[in-house]
Structure 1
Amino acid sequence: MEYQIYGNTVRSADAISTTVIDWDDFRKFAKVGDTIREPSRTLTITEKVYESTASGQNFVIHIYAQ
């Protein structure tokens, strides 16, 4: 899956379709190996880590990309 988020301006390049989602959905649906295309760079998600909150009732998702 490819995510392209440019704030209020979203553009498709060539035949690539653009998907705009909020950060909560991004953290849920992003998978290791997905790419993130920004106007100045392309990142690949290398790791997705789930961390329990101090209360243990919720969790935080950390996305690492390079």
Structure 2
Amino acid sequence: MEVNRYDNKLQGDGTVQTTVIDWDEFRKTVKVGDTISEQTRTLTVTDKVYELTASGQHFVIHIYAQ
């Protein structure tokens, strides 16, 4: 599994918390407004959408960032 680093800007005190997690955990914990720091750019999560699979037994999480 690929590991990703993302920054979650904590509201109020201006500090940035950096966490290293795998993609499955990232999809569960990321919130709209979080920033994703890559080597050459920083993205902000604009939407998080849950979609049921055709069987209705599982779901897919779509993360949109710009």
Q: TM-score range by the shorter chain?
A: 0.7 to 0.9
Higher strand share: 2
Identity across the alignment (%): 73
Q: CA deviation at 1:19?
A: 1.3
Cα distance in 2 for partners of 1:59, 1:36 equals: 23
- Paired residue secondary structure (2:28): helix
RMSD over aligned Cα atoms? 1.9
What stretches of structure 1 of length at least 5 have no aligned partner? 5-14
Aligned equivalent of 1:53: 53
Segments ≥4 residues shifted beyond 4 Å: none
* TM-score for both structures, normalised by structure 1: 0.75
Shift in alpha-carbon separation, 1:32–1:42, aligned structure 2, 3 A:
same
Specify every segment of 5 or more residues in structure 2 that has no aligned partner in the other structure, as ranges: 8-14
SS of match in other structure, 1:28: helix
